[in-house]
Amino acid sequence: MLRRLRLNALRDSPQAFLGDPQTEAARSPEEWQVRMQNRVWFAAASDGRPVGLGSTVRDPDTDERYVESMWVEPDSRGRGVASAVLRAVEHLAVSEGKTVLLLWVLDGNPSAAEVYRRYGFRESGVRQSISGHPELIETQFRLSVPSRPIVVTTPLIFAAR
């Protein structure tokens, strides 16, 4: 399921993920296992059908938790799916004793930036170029957690480590 959702995200928004659907589709099952083990993945469902995903990774150097790989299928956007996934990530961060969630948004992706702002993330003032793509710049967003009472009522299909 993770593989299918990730490939759907890449086909829909390859520029947002800096990935190539053909390259990712060609990954072996072992490579997909490694991808799953390096982060915690969440998927949201609507009527039993997966419609969105997001992941979170802990920076081994700073111990900070980052939100990554957020995507919602086009027909489900604007229905609270992204917020549901973010609530689940926030719940995990709080359960680990974290006080901040971080994420990066590529310049030129105002829709993503707006989703995160509506949830409560704010620009931190930190910007950086992407390794291997120096022409691309991203802005860091941060959220103090808990940002709201944590009640996960999301139809999460899985949370895999």
- List of E strands, 12-87: 40-46, 49-58, 65-72
What residue spans define the domains of the chain? 2-160
Q: Which three-class secondary structure string do you get for 67-93?
A: EEEEEECHHHCCCCHHHHHHHHHHHHH
3-class secondary structure, 4: helix
Closest listed residue to residue 55, CA positions, set 96, 93, 21, 110 = 93
Which residue's entry shows tokens 């990935």? 19
| Global pTM value | 0.82
CATH topology assigned to domain 2-160 = Aminopeptidase (3.40.630)
The whole-number pLDDT of residue 161 equals 42
Which residue's entry shows tokens 């004793």? 97
pLDDT in tens, the chain (161 residues): 777 777 777 777 766 666 677 777 788 878 877 777 778 889 888 888 889 999 999 998 999 999 998 999 999 999 999 999 999 999 999 999 999 999 999 998 999 999 999 999 999 999 999 888 899 999 999 999 988 876 655 455 444 44
The whole-number pLDDT of residue 92 equals 92
The whole-number pLDDT of residue 34 equals 78
Which residue's entry shows tokens 């291997």? 132
Sequence-ordered list of residues with C-beta below 8 angstroms from that of 21, at least 6 positions apart, any chain: 7, 10, 11, 14
Closest listed residue to residue 104, CA positions, set 145, 148, 135, 136 = 136
Closest listed residue to residue 98, CA positions, set 159, 155, 37, 40 = 40
Please say whether the dihedral angle defined by the alpha carbons of residues 56, 73, 22 and 110, taken in this order, is positive or negative: negative
The whole-number pLDDT of residue 156 equals 53
Burial of 67 (0-12, 13-18, 19+ CB in 10 A): buried
The whole-number pLDDT of residue 83 equals 92
